[in-house]
Structure 1
Amino acid sequence: MSGVHLIRRGEVAELRLDNPGKLNALSMAMLNALVAHCDAIERDDVIRAVVLSAEPARAFCAGADIAEWGGYSPRDFARHWVRAGHRAFDRLARLAKPTVAAIYAHAFGGGLELAAACDARVLGPRATLALPETGLGIVPGWSGTQRLVRLIGEPAVKEMALFGRRIPAERALALGFAAEVADDPTAIAFAMAERSAGLSPRAVEIAKAMIHAAADEDRAAAIEALGSAAAGAAEDRAEGVAAFGAKRPPEFSGR
């Protein structure tokens, strides 16, 4: 059955796109499943890193399922379809745990935007990137003009969105989109995830939040999360909670 599957492999979880009959195109059900799986991963203290992969097809992900979104009214397209994609991709991008995408074939439109929401990407030598939306009378709507511009720069995104050009794997590596180009991108992605799983999980989580703040990836939430974590680790927090429960004034020590 098509969907997004969560496969636990000890400290590394795999999120696998499974819609090969449609080149792993994303449906509303798949977007909702991605959110649910990310929530489950966040709550699972055993999982320390995530690999995003796809069932074998001619594309890693051909983007959004045209047969599904083509039936939406203009209002519902913007209100429901576009927002659902943002909700799913933002949830993936803001996982506290590091994510690596294994891209063995083409990543087009929403598939490229999905890969951009990961922390790192490994491409197969024949993989290509594209933003074909303008050829369908729409525009990149799931962060292709925002997150992707921050990641690889305005000129490359304009080439894809305004001129219909495709970016091959080696150029994606030169642009910094890919961490590596390899014959077996899934094996490399798992090796990276397993290496991350051996690092301090708390330090990795904090480092990711700090880097996201610098890159303007939900900067306000990242700063508040870091501040809340620091305050939450202080003795004053325990005293404040205890005083509230005992209905007495707190005696803060500043520690």
Structure 2
Amino acid sequence: MTASLDLEIVDGIATLSLNNPRRLNAFTPDMLAALDRHSVALDGDPAVRCVILRGEGERAFCAGADIKAWSVLSPFDFARDWVRGGHRIFDRLARLSKPTIAVIHAHAFGGGLELASCCDIRVMAPQATLALPETQVGIVPGWSGTQRLARLIPVPVLKEMAIFGRRIDAQRALSLGLVAEVADDPLDAARQIAAKLRETSPRATEVAKYMIHAATGEDRNAMIEALGSGMIAASDDKAEGVAAFAEKRKPAFPGS
């Protein structure tokens, strides 16, 4: 079976499924490219209210990057294409205008944990664990494991994981606030959370996400300018400025 990242949209809920269970849903270059494409498409689809990210198979949500894909790369290509390229794609997911939920039904290691960390909230099964095992193969986290995760959990805990290789179980992840809920059926729990978004304003949830990202440093500059631009775009001054430009005259701004 070819590894893939599949998209399904039902009743306004988009589900992205990592489909490489024989290799613990490890990311391949094709899967990374698919995540990039799907993120772009979902961001521009007004019918989508929420995005759920899940993994196929019973053994892992995602075991990170496929070692066969990156181990053959030169140091330069590894840094430029694999690390920076993957970082850019994960950032696109993290900055999606739609609310996102990661369903951690089984182990999330390395890039798999970094992927789940890109989502707004996480729902986890009791038996699942989280880990950053990169140092065991002579590398370090490269898709925001030392950066975005440092904003989500205490730094000493992150050091436990990234330096000492310790795993975090579901209950500890819940106590740290890294996961929103521990559930025997995390996919069903995520779908119930997503369904509640039908009772909320799409624009309000989008702006709330922008405001939180501006506060926490997730693409802060763009978020601040997006919020400011949205406010000014609704003003009479903007309408007058555009009209004056089209009519080749000086604008008479009303100040409203």
In which range does the TM-score fall when normalised by the shorter chain?
A: over 0.9
Moved more, 92-101 or 242-251: 242-251
2:152 is matched with: 151
- Classify the secondary structure of the residue corresponding to 1:53: strand
- The one-character-per-residue Cα deviations of 1:192-240 (angstroms, maximum 9, x if unpaired) are 1111232101110111111111111111111111001111111221221
Q: Do structure 1's residue 218 and structure 2's residue 219 form an aligned pair? A: yes
Q: Which amino acid aligns with 2:44?
A: R
The answer (yes or no) to whether the contact 1:12–1:197 under 8 Å persists in 2 is no
1:235 is matched with: 236
Aligned residues: 255
Structure 1 outlier segments of 4+, above 6 Å? none
Q: Do structure 1's residue 66 and structure 2's residue 67 form an aligned pair? A: yes
Q: Which amino acid aligns with 1:223?
A: I
Whole-angstrom CA distance in 2 between matches of 1:83 and 1:28 = 13
1:246 is matched with: 247
The answer (yes or no) to whether the contact 1:51–1:101 under 8 Å persists in 2 is yes
- Classify the secondary structure of the residue corresponding to 1:6: strand
1:5 is matched with: 6
1:109 is matched with: 110
Whole-angstrom CA distance in 2 between matches of 1:250 and 1:13 = 44
Q: Which amino acid aligns with 1:42?
A: D
2:184 is matched with: 183
Distance 1:197 1:87, change over 3 A: farther
The answer (yes or no) to whether the contact 1:28–1:84 under 8 Å persists in 2 is no
Write out aligned runs for 1:56-135 (5 A).
56-135=57-136
Q: CA RMSD in A?
A: 0.9
1:44 is matched with: 45
Whole-angstrom CA distance in 2 between matches of 1:35 and 1:234 = 34
The answer (yes or no) to whether the contact 1:243–1:250 under 8 Å persists in 2 is yes
- Classify the secondary structure of the residue corresponding to 1:60: strand
- The one-character-per-residue Cα deviations of 1:17-44 (angstroms, maximum 9, x if unpaired) are 1111111001111111111111111111
2:195 is matched with: 194
Whole-angstrom CA distance in 2 between matches of 1:197 and 1:119 = 17
- Classify the secondary structure of the residue corresponding to 2:72: coil
Whole-angstrom CA distance in 2 between matches of 1:116 and 1:210 = 18
Whole-angstrom CA distance in 2 between matches of 1:245 and 1:62 = 55
Aligned identity (percent) is 60
Moved more, 119-128 or 1-10: 1-10
Q: Which amino acid aligns with 2:66?
A: D
Q: Which amino acid aligns with 2:193?
A: M
Whole-angstrom CA distance in 2 between matches of 1:171 and 1:35 = 31
Whole-angstrom CA distance in 2 between matches of 1:144 and 1:169 = 18
Whole-angstrom CA distance in 2 between matches of 1:27 and 1:197 = 34
* Contiguous gaps of at least 5 residues in structure 2: none
TM-score of the superposition, structure 2-length normalised? Answer: 0.97
Q: Which amino acid aligns with 1:3?
A: S
* Contiguous gaps of at least 5 residues in structure 1: none
Q: Which amino acid aligns with 2:209?
A: K
Task: State the Cα distance separating 1:2 from its structure 2 match.
Answer: 2.1
The answer (yes or no) to whether the contact 1:24–1:57 under 8 Å persists in 2 is no
Whole-angstrom CA distance in 2 between matches of 1:87 and 1:184 = 31
